[in-house]
Amino acid sequence: MSDDGAADDGTAPTDRDHAEWLDALADGDGFAIVCPDGHGSLPPRRVCPDCGSPDLSREPLDETGTVETYSVVHVPSPRFADDAPYATAVADFGPTRLTGIVRGGDASDDPPSVGIGDAVTVDVGERETDGERLVVFRPVTSAGDD
């Protein structure tokens, strides 16, 4: 696979790289782009957004992340019309920070409860409004609950 950024299939490199990343994540093979200084980011990247290093490698994403911040959206943009209310969160997975939607195990109308510092796993889900794929966080229940 060429990595020179040339898009000859009519798909913008950004969309293609993001789709590839979502594919990997859906396969339980999520990864981050990490520079020698340990800064994590997500594709597409040519250089580290933190220090500008071009020496980037793919590292496996941590299985569990920690919620840094979250907010509950009651009045969504049209693309999320059927998903509201929902909770978006930013979670740290090792050196890499991800943004996603929080979903619980059931399809209740209310957004699942989530708090800063909670552990979450990351998965790929579909937006209810139009089926577009997106990053989904699932709260990790403690006490060995299966």
Binding test (CB under 5 A) with Zn ion, winner from 17, 39, 41, 111: 39
* Total chain residues near Zn ion (CB under 5 A): 7
Closest CB 46 distance from Zn ion, rounded Å: 12
Q: Say how far apart CA 108 and CA 24 lie, in whole Å.
A: 28
One of 25, 33, 35, 114 touching Zn ion (CB under 5 A): 35
Give the full edge-to-edge strand order of the sheet including 57-60. 40-41, 31-34, 57-60
Q: Does 114 bind Zn ion (CB under 5 A)?
A: no
Q: Which residue among 50, 63, 110, 132 contacts Zn ion (CB under 5 A)? A: 50
- What separation in angstroms does the CA of 140 have from each of 68, 89, 99, 103, 110? 15, 14, 17, 11, 18
Residues of this chain that interact with Zn ion (CB under 5 A) are 35, 37, 39, 48, 50-51, 53
